[in-house]
């Protein structure tokens, strides 16, 4: 896809969202079903992923860790956003890799220490690109990728999460 094709695809959507702002509000959903043992099966839209405990919390390593999935979602979103932005502004990316790594203190998750946080303490997102772009173009690419990446913005800005529990007779 080139920048003209991208603009042509996005133009009618942008026009619609300007004229009817409410049409731009969508609810994305994820669902999972409790699995055998300590696991949860999550529908990804393309496959079924079974998540379980990380080995550092007693898992056997055969199931996907939800912390890994969070980092994978960040890498996926950042990569797609990077490609869209580079296409839109005319930067040729010959090749590249995106990686994310995060630091966890499992004492918090396991309740060993009330002082240890539950969740990632820091996340590092790295882009390694093969491109002839100038430093100025790369700065623009970085700024716009961060600005428009949904997962990046959600993680860095934080978001309110409402939790509900319900029961049903089986």
Return the CATH number at 62. 3.30.300.20
Residue 163 forms part of a structural domain: no
Q: Tell me what the mean pLDDT of segment 19-47 comes to.
A: 82
pLDDT at 117 over 80: yes
Span between the terminal Cα atoms of the chain, in Å: 50
Contacts of 166 (CB under 8 A, 6+ apart): none
**Structurally, how many domains does the chain consist of?**
1
Mean pLDDT of the chain: 91
In a domain, 55, yes or no: yes
Output 79 or 40, whichever has higher pLDDT. Answer: 79
Full residue range of the structural domain in which residue 99 is found: 3-157
Whether 170 is covered by a domain: the verdict is: no
* Section 111-136 average pLDDT: 93
For residue 103, the model assigns a pLDDT of 93
* pLDDT tens digit sequence for 142-153: 999 999 999 999
Helices (H), the chain: 3-19, 66-89, 106-109, 135-148, 150-157
Across the range 67-78, mean pLDDT stands at 94
Mean pLDDT of all residues in 47-64? 90
């Amino acid at each position: 896809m080139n920048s003209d094709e991208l603009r042509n695809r996005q133009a009618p959507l942008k026009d619609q969202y300007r004229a009817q702002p409410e049409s731009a509000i969508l609810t994305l959903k994820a669902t999972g079903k409790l699995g055998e043992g300590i696991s949860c099966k999550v529908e990804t839209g393309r496959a079924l992923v079974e998540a379980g405990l990380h080995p550092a919390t007693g898992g056997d390593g055969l199931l996907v860790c939800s912390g890994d999935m969070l980092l994978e979602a960040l890498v996926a979103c950042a990569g797609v956003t990077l490609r869209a932005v580079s296409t839109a502004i005319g930067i040729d990316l010959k090749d590249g890799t995106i990686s994310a790594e995060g630091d966890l203190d499992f004492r918090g998750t396991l309740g060993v220490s009330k002082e240890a946080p539950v969740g990632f303490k820091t996340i590092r997102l790295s882009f390694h690109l093969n491109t002839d772009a100038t430093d100025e173009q790369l700065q623009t690419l970085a700024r716009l990728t961060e600005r428009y990446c949904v997962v990046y913005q959600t993680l860095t800005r934080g978001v309110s999460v409402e939790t509900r529990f319900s029961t049903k007779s089986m």
